[in-house]
Amino acid sequence: MKVGMLTAPMGDVSIEGLIDFATRAGIQAFEIYAHKSAHFDPDDVDMARKVAELCGQAGIEISSLAWYGNVTAESQAEREAAQSHLSKLLGLCQAMGVQVLCCGAGLPPSGMSKEDALRQLSLPFYRGLVKRAADLGLKVALENWYATNIQHLGLWELVFMEVPDENFGLNFDPSHLLWQGIDYLHAVEVFGKRIFHTHAKDTEVVAHRLAWVGNQAGGWWRFVIPGLGDVRWGAYIARLRSVGYNGVLSIEHEDAALGREEGFLIGARYLRQFV
């Protein structure tokens, strides 16, 4: 396995600056956030190819292009724009030699359940996208952010029953399962063949706060850098290995207590002991 990073928090840093930072931090892969930034422009194919070339020269893998826009937005215009952007990214993946497109299942429109949003809006779109990806030799991976239409394992099961294509899978993030009380280790066992990419993000459960306000209130859990929360990283990574995953652990930095570079440095140092 390799330790990687989602580049979204470094949007003001050039690709040369990112490569320099990654080299110092011991980070071996980039999950490039496919929005216009100092290091990427989804409307500039030449820039995308240059990014791939520079990363290759530095020995840094591009583990995926990633964009988590709302493909089930209440506004039809917003929904169609998000879907169009993801479709465009398939071509950029091919141009850059990137094998995985990471994305989201969308947020449920008001008055619609997550299951209905999947059946009526998300999966009809992904059914077509996944087939186009297969024609290009690419994989599509949904991140399991709890707010989206794939909050829990029952919804994951529905996704892969409805769209069973082998190139459709998950960008697996244990942090979104832990605080809900969902067994993330068992989830790896059940959905192992669908794990194409992973987010390395931890969750700290603040026990005294939970005991004070209960699990129906807020403020009793928070996202932290790997090693600073309650995910059992040794067991989790061993479980990933047991199902054949040998890809990237991509640090998603959402820890408000740590600076931008500081968080990536701490996370990379912690994860390297397991890989």
- Let me know if residue 191 belongs to a domain: yes
Strands (E) across the chain are located at: 2-6, 29-33, 61-66, 100-103, 139-143, 168-172, 195-200, 202-205, 221-224, 248-251
For the chain, the domain total comes to: 1
Give the pLDDT confidence score for residue 183 in this predicted structure: 99
Is residue 149 a contact partner of residue 114, using CB atoms and an 8 Å limit? yes
- Let me know if residue 215 belongs to a domain: no
Give the pLDDT confidence score for residue 35 in this predicted structure: 96
Q: Give whole-number Cα distances, 202 to 49, 226, 229, in Å.
A: 33, 5, 5
- Let me know if residue 212 belongs to a domain: no
- Let me know if residue 209 belongs to a domain: no
SS3 content of the chain, % helix, strand, coil (to 5): 45, 15, 35
Give the pLDDT confidence score for residue 109 in this predicted structure: 98
What is the radius of gyration, based on Cα positions, of the chain? Answer: 18
Domain that holds residue 270: 2-202+231-274
Give the pLDDT confidence score for residue 56 in this predicted structure: 98
Cβ neighbourhood burial of 121 (10 Å; 0-12, 13-18, 19+): buried
CATH number at residue 175: 3.20.20.150
Q: Is the dihedral of CA 121, 125, 130, 131 positive or negative?
A: positive
- Let me know if residue 226 belongs to a domain: no
Give the pLDDT confidence score for residue 188 in this predicted structure: 99
Q: Report the half-sphere exposure of 264 (CA within 13 A, side-chain side).
A: 23
* Number of CB atoms found within 10 A of residue 94's CB: 15
- Let me know if residue 210 belongs to a domain: no
- Let me know if residue 92 belongs to a domain: yes
- Let me know if residue 146 belongs to a domain: yes
pLDDT along the chain (275 residues), means of 10: 98 98 98 98 98 98 98 97 98 98 98 98 98 99 99 99 99 99 99 99 98 97 99 99 99 98 98 97
Q: Is the dihedral of CA 140, 247, 24, 227 positive or negative?
A: positive
* pTM, two decimal places: 0.97
